[in-house]
Chains A and B, each alone.
Chain A
């Protein structure tokens, strides 16, 4: 179906028309937001149904000239890497808007508008096949999230949102310089391009030094977005201050834009750059690949260690994201099919599970208005349904076999062990630590003596159940039977691993 991907990206923006008609009515605005996101989810499922499993390349490609003077085009396409992330985005949008039904009572219309713009940006990031187009959507995600945290967030929201924007922007502007440099390197004037598929065939024009610099420029942007240790410091602040739905989207999708960028662009386009060594003070030379792998393992252990000592529930989940994202970079950069498949599954599953965890924390906060673990306790007695959901997601997050969190981490560890046994062994400690901090947290929050003040608080309401059920169902389903996902992603990932490991033939140094 031609135009399907364009439709998926721009249906949320088209939602501005009914949103404007819902003039200032909070209820109608929320209904419009949910309705539009459901329509978009349906269309993305149509795309998933039409997706041909087993083909590694891009499908449903659309191409229109955008800046013919420079040879830049509006180009979209979907492959095994992006198709799941698109559906995940559409799903989490529905979930977060449903979850906003009760908590958001001020400036509702603007809130829905911000989310709709955000959705367009996120979907565009995963579907764009032109680097400029990708960058446009990458930045389009920024301002709505800036407003979502800054307007509807907690007490320190302004500090948190400015930190979030400045961190992200510093990285992405350097990536813009990198993109322009890639454009200039892509051929003689008049034949230059930023089309991803074209660029893959022109990698021989990129000398090693160029690939190294370009990789660093791209990697910085993605490392900040993901976030990788030591660029993660914006994340806990942003998560703690963001409204629940903002946290769901931030953890579920926005971070994935970083992981997606690594796998889609940085690895296949600049494979020589990754293997290159750069001069570094004190140690002399460092290998970039080794640096990324080391930082990934550090992120896994550091994230877990810091999560263990968190007193704030939301901060704990935020730091656990740092650890989980460490698995993503680890799996992507061990450069084998298993590791990369694990990384992609980890992204999808982390999106579902951590989104759900933030939702649960938000539900609990709505009622108790407490986020400090020490202030909570004994809630399991009063909230049986909530306890069931929360427990399920906690177990999935710590990687219990049979639930979806296990599959990705397991594949990443297998891939890492194949690459380097010591590295895999250290990373495995992170899985154990996850069990420690998550179960300990669960015990302190849900069991023990119940506070008098919480005795009358109600269990989950209908809107919350509607938001939780699809996440819970997928958590179980994808844990028991992940094979369909692997069938979808594997052909594409095999080709990406091949691109990332084969040497790019270096002809002449172009400049």
Chain B
């Protein structure tokens, strides 16, 4: 910013396999969120390459990136990022709207998704009428709406109490184990990472300093 080039990630190389549950941990400023945003197609690398499902995000156009965000990844955030003026079902249906799903079908699909998240009775509520855990489950439903193979979670429990955090993380683990979603979880909480992720990559100043998955592979 301001003319100074900040290298958030430097000389970083990482492979993630299908169906993995990977945690990116590190202190703030370590570059873990930047890496997640790159994978999510919210940002583009200034150099190097980043392949998701065989396609290089670094060379995608703005339109191709939006398609990547729509169909390949689903993101959940610490602050939920729901549209405040929309009900739960409208928030979920919004991502289907961008995919061009007809109205009746997307309402029905969004509704069914919320049902599986245990929010059957809360569909017509707006975000501020929902608890933090409920909001995050709406966000998960939205992330899954277009059935992406990849689920990206940026500090998903940061705004939740410990009991709700466990519920959300259990939900994410189920999606990984039962539905085969590849999950990349960004957290500063090493204990959380250890409890749920099968592989933990620790970043510091844009570099990988440890990778449990890599250790396992080498062993």
Q: Do A and B bind each other?
A: no
